[in-house]
């Protein structure tokens, strides 16, 4: 341990080296004081070299009496402060029961590799006591029974919640019962009557699950929330649902949870931990079990803030420490507690866990804050210190303030860890970082119980339209799927060594997939059925209307003749009256023209008068507006002037003249001897009048005396300052008066011109009126005649329209008749087919419920399983559906339920294997909600995805380099992405993409990847492939993707190999076959499109017989469809002929695929024995080229099979260890014989295992020389059909059997009696029972007899042959045993080939 060695060096030598300065640092005035726990439980021992420098003080653990004294003092002090006497008297019982439970747990619940968290310390003791003391006095709490229930609840939380299996939980219940009876002196059964489930006969762990204590029944914003018992479980459920609803309303990431009792239990447990000051929790469960969601809800219930880190591609220690700083500052100087939720999937570096270990233990990470940040922290925490310590806080040193900050962090920071128990990482972390157990309350998330599964299904299926009699059965079926797949996963692991997980997320995916697929398929089936029904309706309508239309056509002929006669009569009458009407129209028209000319002349005169008035009226209007602007005070100001300005005086004088006011005679100011006429005095009187302005407005402008106008023009208007602008400078009132006077002059001038015109106009208008009156009389008489004529014409038009309508009816009826016959002739053949389709679709609609349910189960659960397990499970599920009376088809499949034949055909063309297993996988890829992760060791899925998405600009990426940049670009532009060659872990940056955490930003779908927020295109698709043959994906990964096992199936490989061999042997046939496949796919696609088009036309509104274009389109479509069908028939006949020829090569394709699955099983012997499909096919093609030709196909195929079998044997032996070569020969032989049906599976299993024997009732007749184990195997072997009677015949022939047993070569010995007729594997089974030590020799003989001696004599290593069979892109790899060196052989071969060799030496571990 480097830290201890550094300390030893410090104590030994007094210092250490500074690695930066490369200098020695001497430490002075320092005393080293260390503390450590005893080794074990995750703690390592220290070296004697270190310990020799110290004086050791060993502190023993507290004795029981000491612990009892400590905790009794605490409990008694608390219970004696306000609690009832009967509660206070229980103090010793609480401590005693806790002590006994603590000691008994340490003795009985021992840690094992699968229960490494079964370690207990005094913190567990104190947690029980602390939990009991959280119940305050009052709140109806009293009595020993209540104390006992409270203690049981707290003990269950501390000791029971971490238990992993039913046996340990049963132990805890028994112990709790003992404590209640022996210590609390209460009846265990009656104390829990109120919460015991109805079906429980006694108090068990299921009863204790329903025991709740918490503070969450009070609102989160209450300052004083009592910690009390929750007796009403229904109210508890409603309260948690209310908290969840509040959270979803306020959160950007709402949680769609079902608050069933199992979830409420865990929420309550987490809430209890969060209530405790400094309480931390370790939640252990597989991914998808609800650990994080329930922790978020518990934080919401407590009213605490939630802190989580966000992992990015570049997230490292620097970012981690920055996040921890923010977390500690928020907890230590914030206004409310903080919950730090951390998952093991976020552990980018193990140092993260070390820091969390320090946080749990000490509340801080040593030296995480530099000095400047500590100063800021001290200032931030000072207000809280003042609040707690008062004035003393002002004198606190930075060290004291920082210590108080750490104290607040420990009190207000709650760390909730969500870890998975899968794998060794969990055990290792608990061992290396013991605070994960010591400082945390542990809550083990078990698999969802049945009631939880039922509650979730009922909640999510509530909205689905289902028959109420079927709904309960579907809910039960969902639970059956989940529980059944748990058993299947265990069997799958046991028999194949493959690990797959069934998680609650799988269950939710099942329900969601069922809901979505059922709704979609119902809509599709109804739409298809309705279209066929509409088509049938139109055809039926056409058939029933043919006779009706023929009768209608006959009946219309007489009506049409009558309409023609009526029309002709009306035409004659109109022709007779038309000349008189025309003459009268001409006469009245001439007179109207004369009157119009006169009216035009009058209008010209009117326009002239109006033009003159248009000149005067604006001026007059302006004068009125000017008068309106004159205010009384303005007039008063002018009136009071003794010496008015000349302009004002001039304007007032002009107004006086206009109004006829007489001037006054006054003395001349310039010559008093004279008198002059002055208007200022009259002006003042005039202005003083109350209605002066109104007098101006009502002035008779039409009768102004000419003398007045003349005086105005000559005397005043000639003055330069007689204008509105000049008057405005003197007075605003004067300006208005001036405008008025000028306007009166303009109006008078215009009126004199207009008056004569008005008189002439009046005379013209009177004359025009007389003319128009006479004209009106004549027009009225004309109108009578015209109306009579119009009525006749209207009747004629109506008759003609009726005639035209009748003609159109006759024409349309004829056309409809023709169209109906055409429709019947062209689509009559479809009627029967469509009728069958409607019936089938009706049945399909009813069966959709069960079919989709089974298909959803396959997509949610069976993706990782191989074809054998998947097929077996589907059969079992269908039988269960039928037993539960859920409507479903006889043999529902994913292909029938959710597959599209046209699309599947296209997938096959693009490289998808044709077997049902692969097609099911492809359908799941496009129907599952989560992105697919395909287990694809042979590259089949990779090849298919590349071909299928190539037209869509597929991006093929690997998790190396800057692949995220290309990923972001593809997401933005909607290009598909194939992420290939992934391992057992995925980049944490991909999590938002895998979880499809899409949100709206600016009205656009967006997603956050790492530090970047990018737009998310709805066209984006994501595929993930791994080449690992047996990957182990932990639940944290498997719940985020749809795991699909794309390993090739025997049928799929056989089809591929058949294509390979035919392409090599009969290239013309294979080329023609491929052309026909493409042509057939295209024809079927066109036929489907044509049928859709026909049905779309027939489904249109209105009568199809009236739509000539639609009938023409239907006829053309039918012609095209018939043409394609004829071509398709010819193509199918040709394809059948080709398939018959191709089938002649099936035998070699079948035998070859048997060989491939034989060599894939070698991986079970040694992981390095892995062989790719591409290599296998290349080797097969080499045998096709190099094997002996023959005219006869059968002979040719025998030659090919023999050549390839030995070629494969040689190549495989080259890569096998010597000890495994005979095993390979033997397995190869058995597989070849098994492919021919010559090996019995039971006999093969017996040979491998020897059978399983419990008690053998048959006595051993040859106990003196035959071991009991061998006799047991003989008895088991005799139970097989081929060996019936072996046990009974053994004693009569025991001498002969003894001869076989004693023979030097028993594999060659003659077997007694008729048993010598046994051959092959059966003879080996007997040899295994008699002389197991000679089985190897027997195997050699067996291989030689079946395949020949060359298959037991591996060929020597030939480097030249290896080179000849290799290609440039596949390197030759030598796996060396110690001491071997092929370099000389490589150099020799290179010299023989004339090639240069460039050796590069890589040290061990650098390759």
| Residue 80: alpha-carbon gap to chain centroid | 57
Token pair of 259 as six digits: 């608050």
CA dist 484 and 858 (Å) reads 12
pLDDT of residue 316: 87
- Across 509-611, the runs of DSSP E, i.e. the strands, are none
Q: In the chain, what is the straight-line distance between the N-terminal and C-terminal CA atoms, in Å?
A: 29
Whether 819 shows a pLDDT value over 70: the answer reads: no
pLDDT tens per residue across span 831-856: 666 677 778 778 888 888 999 999 99
CA dist 757 and 211 (Å) reads 113
- Percent pLDDT > 90 in the chain is 24
Whether 540 shows a pLDDT value over 50: the answer reads: yes
Strand 1004-1009 relative to strand 998-1001, pairing: antiparallel
Whether 1090 shows a pLDDT value over 70: the answer reads: no
Helix (H, G, I), strand (E, B) or coil at 977: strand
pLDDT tens per residue across span 1349-1399: 999 888 887 787 777 777 777 778 888 777 778 888 888 888 888 888 888
pLDDT of residue 1406: 47
Least confident of 744-753, 995-1004, 1053-1062: 744-753
Question: 1383: how many CB neighbours lie within 10 A of its CB?
Answer: 10
Work out the angle between the directed axes of helices 1268-1277 and 1320-1330 (0-180°, nearest 10).
150
CA dist 372 and 734 (Å) reads 83
Write down the residue that tokens 């997320």 correspond to. Answer: 505
Whether 571 shows a pLDDT value over 80: the answer reads: no
pLDDT tens per residue across span 1126-1136: 776 777 777 67
Q: What's the mean pLDDT in 912-927? A: 91
pLDDT of residue 1407: 44
Torsion of CA 999, 1001, 1006, 1010, to 10 degrees: -90
pLDDT tens per residue across span 144-170: 888 999 999 999 999 999 999 889 999
pLDDT of residue 788: 67
The single-letter DSSP state of residue 157 is I
Q: Using an 8 Å Cβ cutoff, are 1161 and 1022 in contact?
A: no
Least confident of 329-338, 635-644, 1284-1293, 1309-1318: 635-644
Burial 419-441 (b: 16+ CB within 10 A, else e): bbbbeebbbebbbebbbbbbbbb
Write down the residue that tokens 């409809």 correspond to. Answer: 816
Q: Measured between alpha carbons, how far is residue 512 from residues 256, 859, 992 in Å?
A: 12, 11, 20
pLDDT tens per residue across span 550-563: 556 565 566 666 66
CA dist 1012 and 989 (Å) reads 11
| Residue 481: alpha-carbon gap to chain centroid | 22
Q: Using an 8 Å Cβ cutoff, are 151 and 435 in contact?
A: no
pLDDT of residue 1226: 92
In this prediction the pTM is: 0.71
Element at 1361 (helix H, strand E): helix 1359-1365
CA dist 1339 and 1324 (Å) reads 7
Least confident of 103-117, 543-557, 643-657, 1110-1124: 543-557
Q: Measured between alpha carbons, how far is residue 307 from residues 331, 333, 339, 915 in Å?
A: 10, 15, 6, 50
CA dist 42 and 431 (Å) reads 4
pLDDT tens per residue across span 87-96: 888 899 999 9
pLDDT tens per residue across span 1202-1235: 999 998 998 888 888 888 899 999 999 999 998 8
pLDDT of residue 771: 65
Q: Measured between alpha carbons, how far is residue 637 from residues 201, 573, 896, 1143 in Å?
A: 114, 90, 106, 126
Element at 418 (helix H, strand E): strand 413-419
Least confident of 51-60, 532-541, 696-705, 997-1006: 532-541
Strand 281-284 relative to strand 441-444, pairing: parallel
User: What does the mean pLDDT of the chain come to?
Assistant: 83
Whether 306 shows a pLDDT value over 90: the answer reads: yes
Whether 944 shows a pLDDT value over 90: the answer reads: yes
Whether 643 shows a pLDDT value over 90: the answer reads: no
pLDDT of residue 729: 79
Q: Using an 8 Å Cβ cutoff, are 124 and 282 in contact?
A: no
Confidence of residue 1118 (pLDDT cuts 50, 70, 90): low
Question: 803: how many CB neighbours lie within 10 A of its CB?
Answer: 18
pLDDT of residue 1404: 54
Whether 1125 shows a pLDDT value over 80: the answer reads: no
Whether 616 shows a pLDDT value over 60: the answer reads: no
Q: Which of 875, 1025, 882 is nearest to 949 (CA)?
A: 1025
Contacts of 1291 (CB under 8 A, 6+ apart): 1261, 1262
Measured in residues, the chain has a length of 1407
CA dist 707 and 147 (Å) reads 125
pLDDT of residue 951: 93
Q: What's the mean pLDDT in 401-406? A: 92
The single-letter DSSP state of residue 898 is H
Q: Which of 1339, 1162, 1338, 1155 is nearest to 1233 (CA)?
A: 1155
Question: Could you tell me which residues are beta bridge partners of residue 1026?
Answer: 935
Work out the angle between the directed axes of helices 122-133 and 64-79 (0-180°, nearest 10).
20
Alpha helices in 14-155 (DSSP H): 48-51, 64-79, 85-88, 91-108, 122-133, 144-155
- Percent pLDDT > 70 in the chain is 83
Q: Using an 8 Å Cβ cutoff, are 456 and 296 in contact?
A: no
Confidence of residue 474 (pLDDT cuts 50, 70, 90): very high
Q: Using an 8 Å Cβ cutoff, are 880 and 477 in contact?
A: yes
Q: Using an 8 Å Cβ cutoff, are 1022 and 1042 in contact?
A: no
Task: Compute the radius of gyration of the chain from its Cα atoms.
Answer: 53
pLDDT of residue 555: 59
Token pair of 806 as six digits: 């009748």
The angle formed by the CA atoms of residues 884, 889 and 892, to the nearest 5 degrees, is 105
Whether 1107 shows a pLDDT value over 60: the answer reads: no
Edge-first strand order for the sheet with 977-979 is 955-957, 977-979, 1022-1026, 932-935, 1042-1045
Q: Which of 356, 445, 490, 350 is nearest to 117 (CA)?
A: 445
pLDDT of residue 828: 54
Token pair of 290 as six digits: 């609800």
Helix (H, G, I), strand (E, B) or coil at 956: strand
Question: Could you tell me which residues are beta bridge partners of residue 956?
Answer: 978
pLDDT tens per residue across span 484-525: 999 999 999 988 888 898 888 888 889 999 999 999 988 888
pLDDT of residue 1016: 93
Q: Which of 436, 447, 445 is nearest to 119 (CA)?
A: 436
Token pair of 625 as six digits: 């507006």
Percentages helix, strand, coil for the chain (3-state, rounded to 5) are 65, 5, 30
pLDDT of residue 5: 86
DSSP string, 54-79: S-----PPPPHHHHHHHHHHHHHHHH
pLDDT of residue 614: 66
pLDDT tens per residue across span 182-216: 998 888 888 888 888 877 788 888 888 889 999 88
pLDDT tens per residue across span 32-65: 998 887 776 556 778 888 889 899 898 888 888 8
């Amino acid at each position: 341990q480097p830290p201890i060695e550094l300390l030893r060096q410090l104590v030994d030598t007094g210092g250490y080296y500074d690695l930066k300065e490369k200098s020695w640092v001497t430490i002075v005035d320092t005393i080293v004081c260390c503390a450590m726990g005893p080794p074990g439980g995750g703690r390592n021992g220290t070296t004697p070299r270190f310990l020799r420098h110290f004086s050791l003080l060993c502190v023993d653990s507290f004795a029981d009496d000491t612990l009892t004294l400590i905790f009794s003092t605490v409990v008694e002090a608390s219970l004696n402060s306000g609690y009832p006497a009967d509660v206070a008297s229980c103090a010793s019982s609480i401590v005693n029961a806790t002590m006994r439970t603590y000691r008994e747990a340490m003795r009985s619940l021992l840690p094992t590799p699968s229960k490494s968290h079964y370690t207990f310390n005094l913190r567990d003791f104190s947690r029980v006591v602390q939990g009991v003391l959280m119940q305050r006095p009052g709140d109806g709490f009293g009595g020993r029974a209540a104390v006992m229930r409270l203690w049981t609840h707290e003990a269950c939380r501390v000791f029971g919640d971490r238990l992993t299996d039913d046996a340990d939980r049963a132990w805890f219940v028994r112990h709790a019962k003992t404590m209640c009876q022996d210590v609390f002196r209460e009846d265990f059964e009656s104390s829990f009557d109120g919460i015991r489930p109805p079906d429980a006969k006694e108090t068990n762990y299921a009863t204790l699950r329903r025991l709740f204590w918490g503070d969450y029944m009070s609102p989160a914003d209450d300052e004083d929330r009592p910690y009390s018992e929750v007796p009403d479980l229904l109210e508890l459920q409603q309260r948690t649902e209310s908290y969840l609803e509040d959270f979803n309303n306020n959160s950007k990431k709402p949680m769609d949870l079902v608050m069933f009792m199992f979830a409420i239990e865990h929420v309550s447990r987490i809430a209890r931990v969060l209530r405790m000051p400094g309480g931390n929790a370790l939640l252990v469960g597989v991914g998808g079990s609800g650990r994080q969601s329930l922790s978020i809800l518990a934080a919401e219930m407590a009213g605490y803030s939630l802190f989580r880190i966000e992992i990015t591609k570049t997230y490292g220690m620097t970012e981690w420490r920055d996040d921890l700083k923010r977390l500690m500052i928020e907890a230590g100087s914030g206004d409310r507690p903080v919950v730090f939720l951390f998952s093991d999937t976020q552990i980018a570096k193990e140092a993260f866990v070390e820091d969390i270990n320090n946080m749990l233990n000490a509340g801080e990470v040593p030296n995480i804050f530099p000095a400047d940040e500590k100063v800021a922290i001290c200032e931030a925490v000072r207000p809280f210190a003042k609040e707690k310590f008062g004035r003393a806080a002002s004198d606190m040193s930075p060290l004291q303030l920082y210590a108080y900050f750490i104290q607040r962090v420990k009190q207000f920071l709650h760390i909730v860890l969500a870890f998975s128990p899968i794998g060794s990482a969990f055990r290792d972390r608990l061992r290396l970082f013991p605070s994960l157990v010591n400082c945390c309350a542990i809550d083990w998330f078990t698999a969802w119980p049945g009631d939880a599964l039922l509650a979730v299904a009922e909640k999510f299926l509530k909205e689905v339209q289902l028959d109420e009699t079927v709904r309960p059965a579907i809910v039960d079926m969902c639970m059956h799927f989940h529980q059944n797949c748990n058993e299947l996963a265990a069997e799958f692991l046991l028999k194949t060594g493959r690990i797959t997980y069934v998680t609650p997320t799988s269950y939710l995916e099942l329900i969601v997939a069922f809901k979505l697929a059922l709704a979609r398929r119902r809509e599709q089936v109804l739409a298809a059925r309705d279209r066929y029904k509409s088509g049938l309706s139109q055809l039926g309508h056409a058939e029933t209307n043919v006779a009706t239309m023929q009768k209608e056509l006959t009946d219309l002929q007489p009506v049409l003749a009558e309409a023609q006669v009526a029309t002709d009569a009306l035409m004659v009458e109109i022709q007779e009256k038309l000349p008189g009407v025309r003459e009268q129209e001409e006469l009245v028209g001439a007179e109207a023209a004369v009157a119009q000319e006169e009216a035009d002349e009058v209008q010209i005169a009117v326009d002239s008068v109006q033009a003159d008035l248009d000149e005067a009226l604006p001026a007059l209007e302006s004068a009125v507006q000017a008068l309106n602007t004159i205010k009384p005070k303005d007039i008063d100001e002018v009136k009071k002037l003794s010496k008015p300005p000349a302009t004002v005086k001039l304007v007032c004088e002009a107004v006086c003249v206009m109004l006829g006011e007489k001037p006054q005679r006054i003395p001349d100011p310039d010559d008093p001897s004279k008198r002059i006429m002055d208007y200022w005095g009259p002006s003042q009187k005039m202005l003083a009048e109350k209605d002066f302005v109104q007098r101006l407005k009502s002035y008779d402008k039409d009768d102004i005396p000419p003398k007045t106008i003349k005086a105005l023009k000559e005397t005043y208007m000639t003055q330069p300052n007689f204008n509105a602008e000049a008057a405005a400078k003197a007075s605003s009132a004067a300006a208005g008066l001036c405008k008025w006077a000028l306007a009166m002059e303009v109006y008078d001038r215009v009126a004199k011109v207009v008056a004569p015109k008005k008189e002439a106009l009046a005379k013209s208008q009177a004359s025009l009126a007389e003319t128009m009156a006479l004209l009106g009389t004549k027009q009225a008489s004309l109108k009578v005649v015209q109306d009579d004529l119009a009525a006749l014409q209207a009747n004629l038009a109506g008759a003609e329209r009726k005639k035209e309508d009748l003609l159109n009816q006759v024409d349309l009826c004829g056309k409809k008749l023709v169209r109906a016959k055409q429709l019947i002739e062209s689509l009559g053949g479809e009627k029967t087919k469509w009728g069958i389709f409607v019936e089938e679709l009706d049945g399909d609609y009813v069966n959709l419920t069960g079919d989709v349910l089974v298909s959803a189960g396959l997509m949610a659960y069976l993706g990782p399983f191989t074809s054998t397990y998947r097929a077996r499970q589907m059969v079992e599920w269908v039988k269960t559906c039928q037993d539960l009376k859920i409507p479903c088809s006889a043999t529902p499949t994913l292909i029938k339920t959710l597959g599209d034949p046209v699309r599947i055909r296209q997938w096959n063309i693009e490289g998808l294997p044709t077997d049902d297993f692969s097609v099911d996988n492809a359908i799941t890829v496009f129907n599952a909600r989560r992105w697919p992760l395909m287990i694809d060791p042979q590259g089949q899925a990779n090849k298919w995805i590349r071909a299928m998405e190539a037209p869509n600009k597929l991006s093929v990426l690997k998790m190396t380099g800057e692949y995220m940049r290309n990923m972001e670009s593809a997401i933005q532009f909607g290009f598909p992405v194939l992420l290939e060659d992934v391992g057992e872990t995925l980049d944490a940056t991909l999590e938002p993409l895998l979880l499809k955490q899409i949100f709206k930003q600016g009205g656009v779908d967006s997603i956050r990847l790492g530090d970047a927020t990018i737009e998310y295109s709805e066209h984006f698709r994501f595929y993930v492939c791994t080449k690992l043959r047996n990957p182990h994906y932990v639940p944290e990964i498997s719940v985020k993707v749809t795991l699909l096992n794309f390993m090739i199936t025997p049928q799929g490989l056989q089809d591929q190999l058949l294509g390979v061999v035919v392409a090599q042997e009969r290239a013309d046939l294979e080329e023609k076959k491929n052309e026909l496949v493409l042509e057939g796919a295209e024809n079927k696609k066109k036929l489907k499109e044509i049928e859709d088009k026909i049905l779309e036309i027939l489904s249109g509104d209105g009568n199809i017989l009236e739509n000539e274009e639609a009938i023409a389109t239907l006829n053309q479509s039918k012609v095209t469809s018939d043409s394609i069908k004829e071509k398709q028939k010819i193509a199918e006949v040709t394809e059948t002929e080709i398939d018959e020829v191709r089938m002649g090569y099936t035998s070699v394709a079948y035998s070859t695929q048997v060989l491939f699955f034989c060599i894939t099983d070698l991986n079970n012997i040694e992981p390095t024995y892995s062989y790719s499909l591409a290599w296998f096919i290349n080797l097969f093609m080499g045998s096709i080229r190099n094997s002996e030709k023959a005219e006869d196909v059968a002979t040719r195929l025998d030659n090919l099979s023999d050549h390839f079998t030995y070629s494969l044997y040689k190549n495989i032996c080259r890569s096998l260890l010597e000890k495994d070569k005979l095993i390979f020969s033997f397995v190869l032989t058995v597989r070849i014989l098994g492919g021919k049906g010559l090996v019995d599976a039971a006999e093969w299993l017996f040979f491998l295992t020897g059978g399983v024997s419990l008690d053998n009732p048959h006595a051993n007749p040859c106990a003196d020389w035959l071991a009991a184990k061998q006799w047991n195997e003989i008895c088991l072997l005799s139970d097989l059909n081929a060996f019936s009677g072996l046990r009974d015949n053994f004693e009569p022939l025991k001498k002969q059997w003894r001869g076989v047993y004693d023979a030097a070569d028993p594999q060659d010995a003659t077997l007694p009696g008729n048993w010598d007729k046994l051959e092959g594997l059966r003879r080996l089974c007997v040899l295994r029972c008699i002389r197991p030590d000679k089985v190897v020799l027997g195997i050699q003989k067996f291989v030689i007899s079946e395949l020949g001696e060359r298959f037991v004599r591996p060929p020597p290593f030939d480097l030249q042959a290896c080179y000849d069979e290799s290609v440039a892109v596949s390197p030759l790899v030598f796996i060396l045993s110690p001491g071997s060196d092929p370099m000389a052989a490589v150099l020799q071969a290179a010299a023989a080939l004339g090639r240069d060799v460039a050796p590069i030496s890589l040290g061990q571990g650098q390759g």
